[in-house]
Each structure stands twice: as C-alpha cells, then as structure tokens.
Amino acid sequence: ILTDRAVDSEDDSLYESFIGSDFVLEGERAGDWLVENAEEADVDGDGDVNVVQLEGTTGAAPAIDRAEGFAETIASDDSIEVTASQTGDFTRDGGKRVMESFLNSEDGIDVVYAHNDDMGLGAIEAIEAAGLTPGEDIKIITVDAVKDGMQALADGKINFIVECNPLLGPQLMDLAAKVVAGEEVEPRVVTEETTFTQEQAAEVLPDRQY
C-alpha cells in the first residue's frame, strides 16, 4: 500500500492501493473559491483579478499539482490572471521573502495563492510590513489547514483554506485490514478532506489536532 506519494510506474501490480491527497483537486478547490468570489477579490475594482502565486518546492508533486489544478479552474474566468509565480519552498521565510519581492515589482495585487499555509503566513508578515491589511487589501488563499493557518483564517487575515489532511492513519489501517483479509480495495483512495471559510475555521479551531 502506497501512502501520501505515488510511484512513477505504469505497473500497478506493484501495489494494492494508493492512499493520499489529490493535490490537483486541492488546487481546483482553491480556484473554485476564487472564481465564485471573483467580484469580491477584485480589491481595486478595475475589473481584473491579479493573482500572485507562492509555489511549493520546485519539482515537488504538491507544488506541480496545486498549480495545475488552480490554473485549469481559473481559466474559466477571463478576469482572473496569475501575474507572477515563484517558489517559496513551502517555508514561512520563503513566503515572506517572495511576497516582499512581489509587492515591490507587481502593481495591483488582488490575491495571493499560496501552496501551503506557512508561505501564506509569511506573506501576511510582508503585507502587514508594507502597511496593508491581509484579507482585505489583498485576499489570501492557502492549502493545508494547520492550526496557525486556521487561526489566521479565523482572524480574517486569510480568506480561504483548502485542507490537506495528514491524519490518514485510520483510513490507512482500514485499507490494510481489507488487503490482509483478501478483500477487493480501490486502487486509488483519496484522503478525506474539506475546505474552510472564516466562520468554519473559528468553529473547528478548538479541536484542531495539527
């Protein structure tokens, strides 16, 4: 049984099942929210939604897939455009540094799409240092839903988070038990994940496990 990452092989007899997140779907969910809230996201009211993207580590599956899913989804709305995209290596410092660069080089940034919460939290620091209000002057979409990110969402500094749930142990053990018992299992099992708005984050935050 493969967990969290797949293998680059056409031979599916090498494993019974692969359980993990669908990173493309995560990107699509981020894009769906932006398409649905495009008018609100057009902060400067010029009719265009200018997005800067904080990419994960170059070559990493989550970074590639989250960018792909997001791009495919926002393509349905001509007003939304990714005007700059650069890796922040999935780190808070990286997100802050790249966001500082974007604020200096890009005009009319409406939205930040960060491939994880840490880079989004770094972007918040850069936005605040520039005298702007994250969540209002610049909308922020992130992926993961770790406790610090969820707190920022509940506080209104992040606008939307797509969950990437690391707590797949129970699902994995159910799958293992079925394989050992000789039962048929799906070759691809997607981790149970959701999305969060500000109100939803505030509601679940007290019981957050990670």
Name the maximum alpha-carbon separation found in the chain: 60
Question: Is 68 a residue whose pLDDT tops 90?
Answer: yes
The set of residues, in sequence order, having a beta carbon less than 8 Å from that of 31 and lying 6+ positions away, is 69, 70, 71, 72, 73, 74
CA distance 135 to 120: 11
This prediction's pTM: 0.93
Amino acid in position 173: M
pLDDT per position as a tens digit, 17-59: 999 999 999 999 999 999 999 999 999 899 999 999 999 999 9
> If you average pLDDT over residues 106-127, what whole number do you get?
97
- Residue 5 is predicted with a pLDDT of 87
Angle at 43 between CA 39 and CA 49, to 5 degrees: 60
Contact 127, 95 (CB under 8 A): no
- Residue 182 is predicted with a pLDDT of 96
pLDDT per position as a tens digit, 139-175: 999 999 999 999 999 999 999 999 999 999 999 999 9
- The three-state secondary structure class of 163 is strand
- Could you tell me which residues are beta bridge partners of residue 192? none
- Residue 8 is predicted with a pLDDT of 86
- Residue 59 is predicted with a pLDDT of 93
Query: How much is the mean pLDDT over the chain?
Result: 96
The set of residues, in sequence order, having a beta carbon less than 8 Å from that of 13 and lying 6+ positions away, is none
